[in-house]
Amino acid sequence: MHLSSAELIALEERYGAHNYHPLDVVLSRGEGVWVWDVEGQRYLDCLSAYSALNQGHNHPRIRQALIEQASRLTLTSRAFRNDQLGLFYQELCELTGYEMVLPMNTGAEAVETALKAARKWGYEVKGVPDGQAEIIACTGNFAGRTITIISFSSEPQYRAGFGPYTPGFKLIPYGDADALEAAITPNTVAFIVEPIQGEGGVIVPPAGYLHRVREICSRHNVLLIADEIQTGLGRTGRLFACDHENVRPDMITIGKALSGGFYPVSAVLSDREVLGVFRPGDHGSTFGGNPLAAAVGRAALRALIEEGMIENAALMGEYFLEQLAEINSPHVKEVRGKGLMIGVELKPEAGGARRFCEALQENGILAKETHRHIIRFAPPLIITREQIDWAMERIRPVLCMK
């Protein structure tokens, strides 16, 4: 039985909670940078599932690892050990230069884990009085949807109706290192920051910001947590976006592309001084660190590194950004980004980004608006110059339409 797009959309609308407003495109197949809808129409994916598909759809090596592991052993729980987890840890640590890993499933869980680690480190290592730990975050942040995480969101819609909120968070403006210094107290245990704000609208902070943030955190014995769930694993043309300023955070959260889009896999990376605060029973997850996730994660990292995707993101990102910036459209206010994480901000009078995304869809390009006026272009990191040229032939007229 083959249902049409319209019929499948009707089912979603009738039976599913309406917590998303997707484009009306029903996809049934993906390969590389391309996806196909149930009617066979092909599109270039310029969202990459919010950067979970850095390696492209259906990457053959990651798929093979998933199938092989799925036919052997999928889940042990952490009550027992498995033959994939230790290797996943080792490969992640050797790649990133951190001493320890704590595996989770979704990005939000990795962030929650990092916050818990920071608080416990604050009490046990820094000596903050029990129950007094403070964590600083930035306005415009996005770190997931749990109640604790929305407790430090500045986006009214993410919070409205979901209180009471978790205490212990303080907000400062993004990109303002002086504001960080001013907000720190003796009870501050951590500063959590995205090197580039993704959901906030592809906001690139001033050059030198992360460097100053690193210096301030070190001077005040405050943990620097970089949320690299979207910016990490090659998206901006370096393994981590912090690498652009040679900054080494005390903790990094990763997720999304850690599985190349096959499976939810996330992790916190840090050193023994911080992740060493967890003792058996302090924290956990039934699926976190399962052998299927570990095998998929290992293959996803290998694909990313061995196939030169990070270098390609740097080269193609520069080319794509240049091409987009050259469009002379009355609607465009600014084009910005790093690597293949690009935002095109439209002027308020352009009538919102949604209609442009719908027009792009009609022309074979899938992109999604963020924050009403911004179109995000973040294709898989394997995109070629020819594919960018193909996309530009379609993006140019759409961005210039009436």
Nearest approach, Cβ of residue 144 and ligand PLP (Å): 4
Binding mask 130-169 for ligand PLP (x = CB under 6 A): ------------xxx-------------------------
Q: Does 106 bind ligand PLP (CB under 6 A)?
A: yes
Kindly tell me which of 110 and 133 has the beta carbon lying closer to ligand PLP: 110
Q: Which stretch binds ligand PLP (CB under 6 A): 10-18, 24-32, 224-232, 240-248?
A: 224-232
Kindly tell me which of 263 and 278 has the beta carbon lying closer to ligand PLP: 263
Q: Does 205 bind ligand PLP (CB under 6 A)?
A: no
Instruction: Enter the DSSP assignment of 165.
Output: P
Closest residue to ligand PLP, judged by C-beta, is 107
DSSP, collapsed to helix, strand or coil, labels residue 133 as: coil
Distances (CA, A) of 396 to 45, 109, 217: 17, 39, 43
**Binder to ligand PLP among 65, 66, 108, 300 (CB under 6 A)?**
108
The distance from CA 189 to its chain's CA centroid, rounded to whole angstroms, is 23
Is 227 tagged catalytic? yes
Catalytically annotated residue among 37, 45, 176, 227: 227
Kindly tell me which of 240 and 399 has the beta carbon lying closer to ligand PLP: 240
Kindly tell me which of 122 and 232 has the beta carbon lying closer to ligand PLP: 232
Residues 6+ apart with CB under 8 A from 253: 107, 110, 111, 113, 114, 225, 226, 227, 228, 229, 266, 267, 268, 269
Kindly tell me which of 37 and 199 has the beta carbon lying closer to ligand PLP: 199
Binding footprint of ligand PLP, residue count (CB under 6 A): 15
Kindly tell me which of 82 and 230 has the beta carbon lying closer to ligand PLP: 230
- From CA 30, how far away is CA 56, in angstroms rounded? 9
- Long-range CB pairs of 276-283 (<8 Å, 24+ gap) are 276/100, 277/117, 277/120, 277/121, 277/124, 277/125, 278/102, 278/117, 278/120, 282/120, 283/102, 283/113, 283/116
As given in the structure block, the two tokens for residue 61 are: 């090596």
Nearest approach, Cβ of residue 119 and ligand PLP (Å): 18
**Binder to ligand PLP among 37, 134, 176, 227 (CB under 6 A)?**
227
According to DSSP, the residues that pair with 35 across neighbouring strands are: 30, 43
The angle subtended at Cα 232 by Cα 226 and Cα 238, nearest 5°, is 110
Catalytically annotated residue among 256, 262, 287, 377: 256
Distances (CA, A) of 362 to 24, 82, 166, 270: 11, 47, 43, 44
- From CA 251, how far away is CA 239, in angstroms rounded? 15
| Helix ranges, 23-172 (H) | 48-51, 60-70, 85-96, 107-121, 147-150, 156-159
Q: Which of residues 242-271 bind ligand PLP (CB under 6 A)?
A: 255
Kindly tell me which of 84 and 106 has the beta carbon lying closer to ligand PLP: 106
Q: Does 112 bind ligand PLP (CB under 6 A)?
A: no
Q: Does 229 bind ligand PLP (CB under 6 A)?
A: yes
Nearest approach, Cβ of residue 230 and ligand PLP (Å): 3
- From CA 375, how far away is CA 103, in angstroms rounded? 32
Cβ proximity of 333 and 345 under 8 Å: yes
Q: Which stretch binds ligand PLP (CB under 6 A): 191-199, 357-365, 367-375, 379-387?
A: 191-199
Q: Which stretch binds ligand PLP (CB under 6 A): 26-34, 74-82, 226-234, 309-317?
A: 226-234
Q: Does 341 bind ligand PLP (CB under 6 A)?
A: no
Distances (CA, A) of 35 to 158, 318, 364, 396: 30, 24, 10, 21
**Binder to ligand PLP among 37, 194, 250, 345 (CB under 6 A)?**
194
| Cα end-to-end span (Å), the chain | 41
- From CA 174, how far away is CA 295, in angstroms rounded? 36
Q: Which of residues 2-61 bind ligand PLP (CB under 6 A)?
A: 50
Q: Which stretch binds ligand PLP (CB under 6 A): 88-96, 193-201, 320-328, 355-363?
A: 193-201
Catalytically annotated residue among 88, 142, 262, 377: 142
Catalog residues that contact ligand PLP under the rule CB under 6 A.
50, 106-108, 111, 142-144, 194, 198-199, 227, 229-230, 255
Active site residues: 142, 227, 256
